Amino acid sequence: MKSMTIPSKVACELITWERSAQLSRTLAKKVIESGYSPDLVIAIARGGFVPARIVCDHLLLNDLTSIKVEHWGIATRKSEKARIKYPLSMDISGKKVLVVDDVTDTGETMALILDYLRSLSPLETRIGVLHHKACSQFVPDYIAEVQPEWRWIVYPWAIYEDLAGFSSKIISEGALDRKDLESALFDRYCMRVGREVLEDVIALLIMIGEVKEENGLLLHSHSLSIR
């Protein structure tokens, strides 16, 4: 899959598990207050899995399924065009559907999803997200929080992926030790994580052959691939 070069600097916002749950509850409340009563929830894999489950809990809904759409890769690496990788595996004709994802970015993914789902003849389809970026060309029906200025949102279920992508980018520009990597992550991506998490990510990058360590320095091996 063709990927976009990771930028040297990008503003990031790290969302905690507690904040993610709070946003998911807010999203569910907005659905309830609108009077919409979906028959099932469709999570957009992978970012929509956790929010969709929480929304189902607050709506007392049992039916939860998913589809996989590829657009963004690891830490701002972007595929050339959004596409449905794993389509829906159930009949939704005549049903009221609620689609849940973590964020609307360009809007391309959501537009693709709507076109795809409409071809399956549901009675009605509405979309809800935790974060809506104001620059997006697509506006969902339900939004837990609007992000007026663009920044990369790091959710707790993707922190290792994003941290690995940013770390790999930094290391690819020159060998450095752990302390310098930690400082660069904060200076360039506003990311400050615990030492244990960073050590885990470094170990994973070494395990997959992306990074190697010599004399206390981290060196880049080859371009990171999405596993």
Residue 112: CB atoms within 10 A of its CB come to 17
Share the mean pLDDT of the chain: 89
Strand segments (E) across 58-183: 64-72, 78-86, 96-104, 124-133, 142-147, 152-154
| 81: amino acid identity, one letter | K
Assign 69 a pLDDT band (cuts: 50, 70, 90). confident
pLDDT of 225 higher than 50: no
What are the tens digits of pLDDT across the range 135-185?
888 999 999 999 998 889 999 999 999 999 999 999 999 999 999 999 999
Residue 28: CB atoms within 10 A of its CB come to 24
Distance CA 138, CA 60 (A): 28
pTM: 0.86
What are the tens digits of pLDDT across the range 178-202?
999 999 999 999 998 889 999 999 9
What is the percent of the chain with per-residue pLDDT over 90, rounded to a whole number? 74
Nearest to 104 by CA among 74, 78, 73, 135: 135
Phi, psi of 153 (to 5 degrees): -95, 125
